[in-house]
Amino acid sequence: MNLATLRDRAQLAEPRDLLRNPVVLSLLVLLALFAAGNLVAPGFASYGSFVNTLRIAAFLGVIAAGQTIVILGGGEGIDLSVGKIATFSTVVVAQVSQGEDERLLVAIAAAFAYCGLIGLANGIGVAYLRIPPLVMTLGMVGVVTGIIRVYSGGQPEGRAPAVLSQVVNGTALGGVRGSVWIWLVVAVCTIWLLRRTTFGRRVYALGANREAAFLSGINVQRNLVLLYVASSLYAALGGIMLLGFAGAASINLADQYQLISIAAVVIGGTTLAGGIGGYLGTAVGAVVLQTMRNLLIVLDIPAAGRQVVNGVILIVLLSLYGRQRRLRQ
């Protein structure tokens, strides 16, 4: 901590500037995106279009909830395997249920169980074997890819049971789809978990100062394992919802969420260094990212170009994160 950062911190502590609140900031970005889109394509900012955006953002929102928890826990915590775990979850549900409604619950239980085990392995690797989270979870992507290959023979069989598709895609109340309602429940539970439970307090404590957390009687390793298990369970749920939306599984259905889940977390104001942030920001971040994607589609930018833009946005965000990190030291 040098003089300049002390000065910055002293000023940051003053609450006068609402614009420094990341949740407020990303809400403003969201408004700007809708306004811009509406200029290019009238109707972009309509109620129907907004509700449709939420419907798709729900999958990202759910998967990024786990990512938020892992990142909040600090210590370079990150879960690069959430996308692949979600994909695995779609494959498990499709194959175990074989599209039969009566086997859906068994299939869902299997998906949570298998994915939970993968999260457990991530957690043990990070907490007890002290493998850096980046390395551990990136390695896990490879492992899960292999498991999916073997398990599905390269071509997943089965499809989404009709009930699942109805729940995820069905409309209720003001044209809002099932996926959004599920997301809402997940969001409320996650915010409650982080703010009102001992687990949540421990997550923040671990991220804010791991040494002090240890010396406050927190079992650091066990709680680290829990972070990664939680993350994989959220990914599993996201995968299940995605299967209901897509109808059939494939061996890479949810892979794209690997990076954009991190982007959603960062846009939402959770610092990659841990200890600061929360799920509300991430949820807004997920809507921002989905809206941005819609905007690029409206602007007729081809898929390759969209990927480039997505990548650039991530780089910008992560370099901003570098600044935040310096501020903390």
Residue 211 touches which member of another protein, ligand ATP, none, C-beta under 5-8 Å by kind: another protein
Q: How far is the CB of 6 from ligand ATP (least distance, A)?
A: 9
Q: Which of 145, 169, 209, 256 binds another protein (CB under 8 A)?
A: 209
Q: How far is the CB of 281 from another protein (least distance, A)?
A: 15
Residues that bind ligand ATP (CB under 6 A): 10, 13
Structure tokens at 145: 């890819």
**Residue closer to ligand ATP (CB basis): 12 or 189:** 12
Q: Which of 197, 311, 316, 325 binds another protein (CB under 8 A)?
A: 197
Q: CA-CA distance, 61 to 66, in Å (whole number)?
A: 9
Q: CA-CA distance, 255 to 142, in Å (whole number)?
A: 12
Tell me if 138 sits within 8 A of 126, measured CB to CB: no
| Residue 213 interacts with another protein (CB under 8 A): yes or no | yes
**Residue closer to another protein (CB basis): 48 or 217:** 217
Structure tokens at 229: 């298990």
| Residue 328 interacts with another protein (CB under 8 A): yes or no | yes
Q: How far is CA 3 from CA 10, 13, 141, 327, 329, in A?
A: 11, 16, 42, 11, 11
**Residue closer to ligand ATP (CB basis): 10 or 303:** 10
Residue 169 touches which member of ligand ATP, another protein, none, C-beta under 5-8 Å by kind: none
Among the listed ranges 59-67, 198-206, 230-238, 248-256, the one in contact with another protein (CB under 8 A) is 198-206
Q: CA-CA distance, 27 to 31, in Å (whole number)?
A: 6
Cα-Cα-Cα-Cα dihedral sign, residues 139, 143, 146, 152: negative
| Residue 9 interacts with another protein (CB under 8 A): yes or no | yes
Please tell me whether residue 172 adopts helix, strand or coil conformation.
strand
**Residue closer to another protein (CB basis): 306 or 326:** 326
AA identity, residue 44: F
Q: Which of 57, 64, 205, 237 binds another protein (CB under 8 A)?
A: 205
Q: How far is the CB of 195 from ligand ATP (least distance, A)?
A: 23
Q: How far is the CB of 16 from ligand ATP (least distance, A)?
A: 12
Angle at 43 between CA 38 and CA 45, to 5 degrees: 60
| Residue 13 interacts with another protein (CB under 8 A): yes or no | yes
Q: CA-CA distance, 108 to 92, in Å (whole number)?
A: 8
**172 Ramachandran zone, left/alpha/beta (phi>0; psi -120 to 50):** beta
Q: Which of 59, 88, 114, 204 binds another protein (CB under 8 A)?
A: 204
Q: How far is CA 190 from CA 88, 239, 305, 324, in A?
A: 23, 18, 34, 25
Among the listed ranges 22-30, 122-130, 134-142, 199-207, the one in contact with another protein (CB under 8 A) is 199-207
Please tell me whether residue 79 adopts helix, strand or coil conformation.
coil
Identify any residues that bridge with 176 across adjacent strands, giving them in sequence order.
172
Q: CA-CA distance, 88 to 311, in Å (whole number)?
A: 24
Q: Binding string, 147-186, against another protein, x = CB under 8 A?
A: ----------------------------------------
| Residue 188 interacts with another protein (CB under 8 A): yes or no | no
**Residue closer to ligand ATP (CB basis): 16 or 323:** 16
Cα-Cα-Cα-Cα dihedral sign, residues 155, 156, 162, 165: negative
Please give the helix or strand (H or E) that residue 224 lies within, else none.
helix 220-246
215-244 residues in contact with another protein (CB under 8 A) are 215-219
Q: Which residues would be at the binding site for another protein (CB under 8 A)?
A: 1-4, 6-7, 9-11, 13-16, 196-199, 201-202, 204-205, 208-209, 211-219, 275-276, 328
